[in-house]
Structure 1
């Protein structure tokens, strides 16, 4: 343990320490004035231009009651994964069953723990080279790197990409620091070259960058071959002061970080820790299945905190409703969960398994299956899922290189009594009356719900997706340094129209 670090509580289950924040004594996070972000002049290194800072974001953290920890119940009827025969394949129906138990914790009201199995799953087989700020100008469009052109050169310097909470910006972690970009219009807001501005503590590699909307507070985790910070620490960065104002330390590498205005969520390999943003006090600790990708999602609606993470069982997702003090377990798939997304209001969850052919949408409150859509017929690794703001569409990206947009047929005004939506008759193949007796035994593959719009990119590249602020637009960011903005036709569907294409990592920035 480094000098000046206060020892935390040792957890014997995996050896992690839950440390109190290591704060500079003259900048405590307990001070609520910190969250009003006074425009303090940033500390600039010698021989560089003054860096541009994010605009202030005035808000105050709101209190939240401490939830009661709830162990995940074992799966009484595990369904083994079937071998993947070629399509068409027979899918099993998803029976709706619930089992509710209650366990009173010693210091909190009773936590309701419910388990909702979704039944069997079909055998899926599928589908700027300057160190100073560049906010005044956007990079030139990359004509040759568009969807119809050749791929961008490999972005060897890029370690991480992620959208902010409202999808208006995205962050990139590199081997030399991090950068923040605006999506519409596309432009680089600022960059920090930590290797050049370093204090001698190491390289500049940043493996995780988590924004807090558009304010000056970010969460950073070191990464790459030469990390700027230890990979087992979460650093709270204040860009107005161009330095870290606090940290959280653990005994294993940090896999992911999620931020709310009142919470910090830190994801480790087998645990998730939830902290108060006002004082960095630990309020909840969750045991999960092995989670090397750092999967976690949290709602952003004020006054309603919903957190989704992998459950303790294979194919299970765990939903924490902190306002209602309720924990929900959803057996979403028979194979491991590869990706999931939570709507901004915390009402809908989209999940995909490691097979990558089907995406399922669940009611986050009751845990029942609302809709199932098909990405394709071949196995694929799902990289990203995203709901539109109006909850009418779902975007999906995978290693197949195609962005899919699905139409959601869900009544978002209902929560407690949502039922699965039947497929429209137009999506069911026509069967003549003499053969109508076999309609009930046809595999679901023949009347699956397919995407209404597609945008084809380069197979094998990792892309993340989000819906833009303009109507029917989708933003795509790739680990190859590409940014796309495209538009889909909700009536006619088909191929999306490419509106913009940029290489946000210029060739001079790549090694």
Structure 2
């Protein structure tokens, strides 16, 4: 009960890793904080007076650019320079922003029935994808600058995903017809593209299986068994090379698999249930879980199946370190 009470009082609204998974943004009722992952260090701390109550934030790699949404102006995307502590630009939409996903040169903004893709840094619209009205605000974009600029989101048919290349646009900033992939029989709750965009991992509302697809051939590659009980999958992430996959659900356990060869289950690392969490990789044998109760967990794992928690902290209690500023 103490843990649940702490989660409710943490003031955290959302958490998000940057594209390299070496930093994360913590959106708070009292502002915004940016952390280095390894070692765990607070890089920046913006107060309620500076940025307001922040609902969503995406870092642009490990740069000074932050894209965020303020609770008092939920229809506006703010572009903020963290080093200069100033607002660089803002874009207004006709509906509240439900999610944002960024790469170095693009940001996908999820609204109620569309995803609008903006170019960075001018924030002009370059692509548009239509999504089912009221579906979960799911979106994933390939982040490797040398790879096709693929964007994936729920399609209008239940359990299906639509994929477009947002670099291939036509006049009027409307993208060509997306490719549609049949992934699950139930509604989608989570999806993730590998950094180079060649693989797509998905989970449905059952949450028992993570399915992995080849985005080039649109064919299934493998099914990864998370568990037999239904679960709400909060996050799926690939490592930088697309050879590892991790996921975390409301069961409070992070799973790690090899995404090649025998597709081995490498780790099942228990943290805390009843709190939303994000997971990512430090390297090929270290994974991180950050939770909305303010906890930070680092696990090391090996191909033999051994897994150990090697670090734990409450990141809201970690002070800033000016030597590691962005």
Is 1:493 matched with 2:277?
no
Asked which structure has the greater RCO (Cα within 8 Å, sep 6+), the reply is: 1
Distance 1:168 1:486 in 2: 15
Aligned position for 2:118: 275
Aligned equivalent of 1:314, options 152, 158, 165:
158
Q: Deviations over 1:425-445 (max 9, x none)?
A: xxxxxxxxxxxxxxxxxxxxx
Aligned length: 309
Distance 2:135 2:32 in 1: 22
- 1:24-423 aligned at under 5 Å gives the runs 153-154=6-7, 155-195=9-49, 197=50, 204-223=52-71, 227=72, 230-290=73-133, 293-303=136-146, 304-322=148-166, 327-409=178-260
SS at match of 2:302: coil
CA RMSD, Structure 1 to Structure 2 (Å): 2.2
Kept in 2, the 8 Å contact 1:474–1:487? The answer is: yes
Distance 1:378 1:372 in 2: 16
With over 3 angstroms needed to count, the CA separation of the structure-2 counterparts of 1:277 and 1:507, relative to structure 1, is closer
Distance 2:5 2:199 in 1: 35
**How many angstroms does 1:151 deviate by?**
7.0
SS at match of 1:500: strand
SS at match of 2:265: coil
Kept in 2, the 8 Å contact 1:152–1:482? The answer is: no
Distance 1:152 1:484 in 2: 19
With over 3 angstroms needed to count, the CA separation of the structure-2 counterparts of 1:245 and 1:391, relative to structure 1, is closer
Is 1:475 matched with 2:288?
yes
Distance 1:275 1:456 in 2: 38
**How many angstroms does 1:379 deviate by?**
0.6
Kept in 2, the 8 Å contact 1:297–1:307? The answer is: yes
Kept in 2, the 8 Å contact 1:218–1:238? The answer is: yes
**How many angstroms does 1:257 deviate by?**
1.3
**How many angstroms does 1:338 deviate by?**
0.5
**How many angstroms does 1:278 deviate by?**
3.9
Deviates further, 293-302 or 366-375: 293-302
Aligned position for 1:459: 273
Instruction: Give ranges in structure 1 of 5+ residues lacking alignment.
Output: 1-144, 199-203, 411-423, 425-448
Kept in 2, the 8 Å contact 1:308–1:320? The answer is: yes
Q: Which runs of 4+ in 1 moved over 3 A?
A: 290-293, 322-326
What TM-score do the two structures reach when normalised by structure 1?
0.57
With over 3 angstroms needed to count, the CA separation of the structure-2 counterparts of 1:392 and 1:239, relative to structure 1, is closer
Deviates further, 391-400 or 378-387: 391-400
**How many angstroms does 1:152 deviate by?**
8.3
Aligned position for 2:322: none
Is 1:484 matched with 2:264?
no
Kept in 1, the 8 Å contact 2:20–2:240? The answer is: no
**How many angstroms does 1:390 deviate by?**
3.1
Distance 1:361 1:290 in 2: 25
Q: Answer with 1 or 2: which has the greater Rg.
A: 1
**How many angstroms does 1:373 deviate by?**
1.3
Distance 2:228 2:89 in 1: 47
Distance 1:153 1:292 in 2: 30
Instruction: Give ranges in structure 2 of 5+ residues lacking alignment.
Output: 169-175, 320-326
With over 3 angstroms needed to count, the CA separation of the structure-2 counterparts of 1:392 and 1:302, relative to structure 1, is closer
SS at match of 1:153: helix
SS at match of 1:409: coil
**How many angstroms does 1:285 deviate by?**
1.2
Q: Deviations over 1:196-225 (max 9, x none)?
A: x47xxxxx21000110011111111013xx
Kept in 2, the 8 Å contact 1:374–1:450? The answer is: no
**How many angstroms does 1:327 deviate by?**
2.8
Kept in 2, the 8 Å contact 1:393–1:407? The answer is: yes
**How many angstroms does 1:343 deviate by?**
0.3
Distance 2:101 2:56 in 1: 10
